[in-house]
Structure 1
Amino acid sequence: MLTCRWPDGETPKALVVFCHGLGASGRGYDALSGYWAARGYLVVHPTFPDWIAAVAAREPGLGLDPDADLSGWAAMPRVRARLHEILHTPFYWLERIRIVRRLLDEADAILAATGGDPGRPVPLAVAGHSFGAYTAQLLAGAEIDLPGESPARFRDDRLAAAILLSAQGRDQQGLRDGSWEAMTGPVLTVTGTLDRGAGGQGWEWKSEPYELGPPGGKYLAVLEGADHYLGGFASGGAGAAVPNQRDAVRRLTLAFLDAHVARDAAAASWLASITDRIGPAPLLFKPK
């Protein structure tokens, strides 16, 4: 399943692949990607095999109806445990990479199908939330250890930049010291002071892709009081809805795309002007 959101009546500034979180699907995250689309970006949302409805269909022993509303799966202990097994299974990491690369291969066809000009190349970028942020950082160059294999790197040089929303740090899913040394392109990492990892890790752990990555087009934004859903940009009522946090994420991510993908000087200047808040939303902001 593939969902696309695109600008009305204009050739997109860029194509952004948005990678969903564990159990979610490509139908979600419209509060953020719709904002980008209204401002010139074609946003493509693949659905990965860890989508809860797909898991329910493959594994009838879980006792879930694939056609029912399964958005509350995280409150079901047995289902939550199974989804967390999936999160830590390399097959699912690699399937996400394979699917995104296939989409990048088909970028011209996607542009043509959504009203773009296939004869005019546009830049490519990747973004993701939670498990999707893991996918995005691998494609941006983060190296991981796969069980029983040599260290693996999945960097795709077609990507101009990456956005990591509630990402992962060391000692999970093959990430470790040195994982981010080759993540040399522009990367925006966003988390919140109430954001937690699958193992209960705090925002400092979620900041490691920034802290341990090389300088050059890197930004860290830590929103005060924001949880895993960073003000409520995901669909289905996930996370607390906090309008000032949601709007800060929208403005920050759009400026990053404009500055580092569309090469807009005004957006780069705005990023350079951020100190300790975006509108009414307080945050820790660090560029390097």
Structure 2
Amino acid sequence: MAITDTASTGIPVTAATPVISVKPLVLPAPDRGQDLRVRISAPATGRDLPIVLLAHGFGSSLEGYGPLADYWAAHGFVVIQPTHLDSRTLGLAADDPRRPRMWRYRVEDMRCVLDHLDTLEAAVPGLAGRPDRSRVAVAGHSFGGQTAGVLLGLRVHDPETGVAEDLSDTRVRAGVLLATAGRGGRDLTPFAAENLPWLRNPDFAHMTAPALVVAGDRDDSALTVRGADWTADPYVLSPGEKSLLTLFGAEHFLGGISGYEVTETTDENPARVALVQQATWAYLRHALGVDSAAWTAARRALDGDHPMGRLESR
């Protein structure tokens, strides 16, 4: 595919192609109490397509995150978006007994998708035989970032059992964590500690898989007493090959990644969204072994004087 250099970011990207998107695809999931609804977006042409599972933030659904899903699909990825049980589209009651294990159901949703790739692939016209199942990544924003992190090795102390089980999945090779929760304990606000028990004691020490962490330096979350640097914890506290993209002036929705013209975006900035699109795309190609040229260019462009952000790696 042709390469076009994006002047605003300095990251060279492949030319966009038309996208096929199918929704909802329904997978049986009896243990969660409701079938799992999934959206798949993929380029209309091409083979050996890497796969990204995209976990939405709290309350969203397969309808969300178009700026990321559409971009990644138009530039060569199969993007799979499940609707998790916390979605507003499902309307679970406040006293629903599944709520304390919402974090765990999310992880199981992602495993369900991985277990049923044959079914999903066959359900999308023209997709059969084109994805590369040896190249699977996971991405997530906010609560979805924790979901992605668990598949990469992050351990969550189950609020019901107290056990921090290893729920990583070897089918997932790398990940992107966007505006994701950091350390628990004294770093949480009283509200978060009481109402979001899966945030109380996350253990990043086993999150060894490669990952890009994206953090806004003005993401002053109501869940922590620390301030914006809290969302850099998945980079700071985890071992292994990691990168951190810090976006200057970015709040929780990183310029508007959760949807087109959504009212929840408090820092609307199309240029910032473009940077997130291109940097995450470049990283995913690098981490999955597709090509590292764009990631090398991204590291060079964002290593120092770029007005929109800073990229560091170890």
Tell me the residue number matched to 2:274: 247
**Alpha-carbon distance between aligned partners in 2 of 1:277 and 1:133, rounded to the nearest angstrom:** 28
Match of 2:120 among 88, 95, 110: 110
CA shift for structure 1 position 150: 2.3
Render the CA deviation track for 1:221-279: whole Å, top value 9, x for unaligned.
Answer: 1111111110111123331320121111011100011101143031342243231365x
Is contact 1:11–1:116 with CA below 8 Å preserved after alignment? no
**Alpha-carbon distance between aligned partners in 1 of 2:99 and 2:166, rounded to the nearest angstrom:** 17
Matched, 1:18 2:54: yes
Tell me the residue number matched to 1:184: 208
Which consecutive unaligned segments of at least 5 residues does structure 2 have? 1-36, 189-196
CA shift for structure 1 position 120: 6.3
- Structure 2 counterpart of 1:194, which letter? R
- Structure 1 counterpart of 2:79, which letter? V
- Structure 1 counterpart of 2:173, which letter? A
Q: Structure 1-normalised TM-score?
A: 0.82
- Structure 2 counterpart of 1:32, which letter? L
Matched, 1:137 2:137: no
Compute the RMSD of aligned alpha carbons. Answer: 2.3
| Change beyond 3 A, Cα 1:160–1:8 | same
| Change beyond 3 A, Cα 1:156–1:277 | farther
SS in structure 1 of the partner of residue 46 of structure 2: coil
Is contact 1:140–1:183 with CA below 8 Å preserved after alignment? yes
Is contact 1:195–1:203 with CA below 8 Å preserved after alignment? yes
| Change beyond 3 A, Cα 1:277–1:215 | farther
Alignment of 1:10-89 (within 5 A): 10-11=46-47, 13-55=49-91, 58-59=92-93, 89=99
Which consecutive unaligned segments of at least 5 residues does structure 1 have? 60-81
**Alpha-carbon distance between aligned partners in 2 of 1:28 and 1:178, rounded to the nearest angstrom:** 26
Alignment of 1:199-238 (within 5 A): 199-200=223-224, 201-216=226-241, 218-235=242-259, 236-238=262-264
| Change beyond 3 A, Cα 1:103–1:91 | same
Is contact 1:161–1:185 with CA below 8 Å preserved after alignment? yes
Render the CA deviation track for 1:148-188: whole Å, top value 9, x for unaligned.
Answer: 33222210110011110110111164457781222111101
| Change beyond 3 A, Cα 1:108–1:270 | farther
Q: Point out the more displaced range, 242-251 or 259-268.
A: 259-268
Match of 2:290 among 242, 247, 263: 263
Is contact 1:11–1:117 with CA below 8 Å preserved after alignment? no
| Change beyond 3 A, Cα 1:246–1:120 | closer
SS in structure 1 of the partner of residue 219 of structure 2: coil
**Alpha-carbon distance between aligned partners in 2 of 1:18 and 1:261, rounded to the nearest angstrom:** 15
SS in structure 2 of the partner of residue 234 of structure 1: coil
Render the CA deviation track for 1:99-136: whole Å, top value 9, x for unaligned.
Answer: 11000111233233333343864311110111111100
**Alpha-carbon distance between aligned partners in 1 of 2:264 and 2:248, rounded to the nearest angstrom:** 18
**Alpha-carbon distance between aligned partners in 2 of 1:19 and 1:3, rounded to the nearest angstrom:** 11
SS in structure 2 of the partner of residue 152 of structure 1: coil
Tell me the residue number matched to 1:197: 221
Is contact 1:6–1:43 with CA below 8 Å preserved after alignment? yes
What is the number of residues matched between the two proteins? 258
| Change beyond 3 A, Cα 1:89–1:204 | farther
| Change beyond 3 A, Cα 1:143–1:249 | same
Tell me the residue number matched to 1:65: none
**Alpha-carbon distance between aligned partners in 1 of 2:99 and 2:243, rounded to the nearest angstrom:** 29
Q: Structure 2-normalised TM-score?
A: 0.75
Runs of 4+ in 1 over 4 A off after TM superposition: 172-178
Tell me the residue number matched to 1:276: 304
- Structure 2 counterpart of 1:266, which letter? A
**Alpha-carbon distance between aligned partners in 2 of 1:178 and 1:238, rounded to the nearest angstrom:** 27
Tell me the residue number matched to 2:183: 170
Match of 1:155 among 168, 173, 197: 168
Is contact 1:191–1:206 with CA below 8 Å preserved after alignment? yes
**Alpha-carbon distance between aligned partners in 2 of 1:26 and 1:191, rounded to the nearest angstrom:** 23
**Alpha-carbon distance between aligned partners in 2 of 1:208 and 1:151, rounded to the nearest angstrom:** 18
CA shift for structure 1 position 196: 3.0
**Alpha-carbon distance between aligned partners in 2 of 1:112 and 1:212, rounded to the nearest angstrom:** 40
**Alpha-carbon distance between aligned partners in 2 of 1:118 and 1:110, rounded to the nearest angstrom:** 12
**Alpha-carbon distance between aligned partners in 1 of 2:202 and 2:63, rounded to the nearest angstrom:** 34
